[in-house]
Amino acid sequence: MSDSFPNPDIQQELNAFFSQEEFIAFFDFYLPGSGGKMLNGLCKVARPADGHSVNYLCLTFVVDTPNDEAEKQIERLLAKFDLKALREQLPSLQSLTSVPASMRHSENYVHQMDLIFPKDKDLDLREVVPMLLFSLRKATGFKTESPQWWDEVSLDAPKPTEAEKANWGNRLKAIFKAVGKK
């Protein structure tokens, strides 16, 4: 996020809202092709810390896009990973936001989705995350690796990238629109 944000209070609010997220898992995915893997990516799964005002999971897709065609292809495929595709496995899903990062035309494409659940819905993440992978495979044709849980790896959970931080304003607007707040 730029330090030249017009209203510094907005930047502080965004930082406060999204700094509560904790990364819980990640998985690799790819699109198989005749010459091997056509698209390679990583998806990070995060959730807000306890006591947050919105019950959601954030999926951050980071995909290698060496050219414009790869970027267009990932956009088309992620468009298929929509509310209808997710509700087949997660019927309690209330809403979905889908926000590509505004930093475009680089070697990586970043796209964030927030899956919003009822506030009182407890999520068993060990069940929900595999359902997400199944839904992603079914909707897009991607192959996925098994999820890796942050509590199983000795590494510290990653910090949000500059592209992710630059996208926080768009994500926040989309989340509040999805939950009916203005």
Query: Cα(162)–Cα(145) distance, rounded to whole angstroms?
Result: 26
What is d(CA 38, CA 142) in angstroms, rounded to the nearest whole number? Answer: 10
Phi, psi values for residue 14, rounded to 5°: -60, -45
Q: What residue ranges do the domains of the chain occupy?
A: 19-149+161-180
Predicted TM-score (pTM) of this structure: 0.83
User: Token digits for 59?
Assistant: 């999926």
Residue-wise pLDDT for 56-92, tens only, equals: 999 999 999 888 888 899 999 999 999 999 999 999 9
Query: Cβ contacts of residue 152 below 8 Å, gap of 6+?
Result: none
Neighbours of 69 (CB within 10 A): 9
